[in-house]
Amino acid sequence: MPNAEALESDFSQYELDGELEHRHTIAGHQGAIRLAFFRNHGRFEKLADATAIYGATGTMPDPAALRRIANRWGGQLNAEQAVSANLGLFLRAGYANGDYEAYDFTDIDRTMAIGGQIKGGGWGRADDKVGLASVVNAISRQRQQFLADGGLGILIGDGQLAHYGKEWILESYYDWQVIAHVNLTADYQFVENPGYNRDRGPAHVFALRLHVGG
């Protein structure tokens, strides 16, 4: 069952994953490009079936009654490149079939992220790091309609999603090495249209992380 803890042992439902990786060096700096894919085979609710029932009855059906064996697939591109001894950049993009309920994790059908990290050698803190990234997430038109009709996702759904908008996130952090093997990281995220809802937000998320170890 999507997003459930119980696992079946007969392999009637499963996921296939694969990845191709190319490592390279540009001007003496290492980089990598990765292409990955997944294919879920299991019992899924097709979102169009739920919205059709809602259109005919005005009631959103129980997803358990609509789950049938189906395949849901997706893929991603991940590129990383060191620009100098202190600067590294990355680009990530992902796509998933948005016709079915999400099987796990969260409700994202399209995503793109770009960002980088700078080591603190330039200001005399070689073991410190500063990071900055921007992310945009989106969902399929079918999932938009499903949520607008009152359907519930894994993490999204509070009755209706009347005013859809792409979710934009800007994240920054500073990783400070207090002493050897002890790091304190301050993190800030700005989220526009949280949960794809233009009636909500923006949201401001602050975090502190303490890491002790090698």
Domains of the chain: 17-38+73-212 (2.40.160.180)
Query: What's residue 163's pLDDT?
Result: 92
pLDDT band for position 195 (cuts 50, 70, 90):
very high
Identify the H or E element spanning 76.
Answer: strand 67-82
Task: Identify the residue with better confidence: 157 or 39.
Answer: 39
pLDDT band for position 159 (cuts 50, 70, 90):
confident
Q: Is the pTM of this model over 0.85?
A: yes
Which token pair is 19?
């990845």
Dihedral sign computed on CA atoms, order 174, 179, 184, 186:
negative
Q: Up-side HSE of residue 81: CA atoms within 13 Å toward CB?
A: 11
Which token pair is 67?
């789950």
Whats the size of the chain, residue-wise? 214
Query: In 3-state terms, what secondary structure has residue 184?
Result: strand
| pLDDT tens profile 87-131 | 999 999 999 999 999 877 789 999 999 999 999 988 999 999 999
